[in-house]
Amino acid sequence: MPGVLPISPLVWPHLCTNSRQVVKMSATGIRKPGFESPAIKLPSHPTYDLKGVVKLALAEDAGDRGDVTCMATIPLDMEVEAHFLAKEDGIIAGIALAEMIFHEVDPSLKVEWSLKDGDHVHKGLQFGKVSGRAHSIVIAERVVLNFMQRMSGIATLTKVLIGGGKNHRMGLFDMVMIKDNHISAAGGIINAIRSVDEYLGQKNLQMEVEVETRTLEEVNEVLQYASQMKTSLTRIMLDNMVVPLPNGDVDVSMLKEAVQLINGRFETEASGNVTIETVHKIGQTGVTYISSGALTHSVKALDISLKIDMELALQVGRRTKRA
């Protein structure tokens, strides 16, 4: 599930299906305490049942007995206030989903935030609170944090979606992405593009179309076709044109030549051998987007806690240098 960084120019920043993610390189302002963020609308999908996923996650935790620890230690009628605590610097994400989870467990819970999705948090910052039945809060806690920590980890690395970017596509249905296997099955890159153009015309569909190229010859083939035929093509992927070197550096000369050949006629996307260390050099070639699977499959979750006894939590945090 690679992510995509649009670069113009590149500045390296501080989520399901065969989706990619597009990251806008823009700063996000820090909200003042007390700011109540309007819930950001969750992405729509014609078949994906997010509420169903939340129910499944809660049911997985509950098993056939429910939260036995809660039932043993917390009176059902006890009410408390619990605070969200950032235990490292990063970008917060998952606020709208957290509210959905809390309200699925107990609609009477009250959730308040001092930041919005996509805002910066720093270690030791309290950025939200939930109040109501202690039993309900603790039952929801783990599922809320599991989602928020992962989403915030991704947002911290890439500023994706709610942090300044957007999904490249939500699935196989909303964008044409002509990859190597499509090209092989179609009998060549031009056959594949021509088939897509004909299909979209027949179905009266308008959507973005990207084709993967692996050689400069394929790039030239695509450009020649586009100069002679009306096409729906919008982006050319330049796959594995970043060549790793023994010293850990990368050779981007092939990528740069491909970008120069395309000369702005289409968006360009560099894919393959992208790391935090190489992304800046890749961006300097003038490519429009940079994609990297590491943005999602290798991301480190952001350390976030939800604490009822905040004073003790901060005391422990200071002792361990995590708050």
28-51: pLDDT as tens digits = 222 333 444 445 666 677 878 889
Q: CA-CA distance, 304 to 85, in Å (whole number)? A: 6
- Kindly state the DSSP code that residue 163 receives in the 8-state scheme: G
pLDDT of residue 225: 98
Rounded (5°) CA angle 139-126-276: 95
pLDDT in tens, 156-180: 988 775 544 566 788 899 999 999 9
* Single pTM value for the model: 0.78
| pLDDT reading at 54 higher than 80 | yes
Peptide linkage before 46 cis (omega within 30 of 0)? no
Give the pLDDT band (50/70/90) at residue 8. very low
Q: Which tokens sit at 91?
A: 């970008």
Number of other residues whose CB lies within 10 A of the CB of residue 159: 24
Each residue's pLDDT tens digit, 304-315: 999 998 888 888
Tell the burial category of 216 from Cβ atoms under 10 Å away from its Cβ (0-12, 13-18, 19+).
Answer: middle
Predicted pLDDT at 315 = 87
Query: Could you tell me if 197 and 205 are in contact, meaning their C-beta atoms sit under 8 angstroms apart?
Result: no
Q: What would the mean pLDDT of 10-28 be, rounded to a whole number?
A: 34
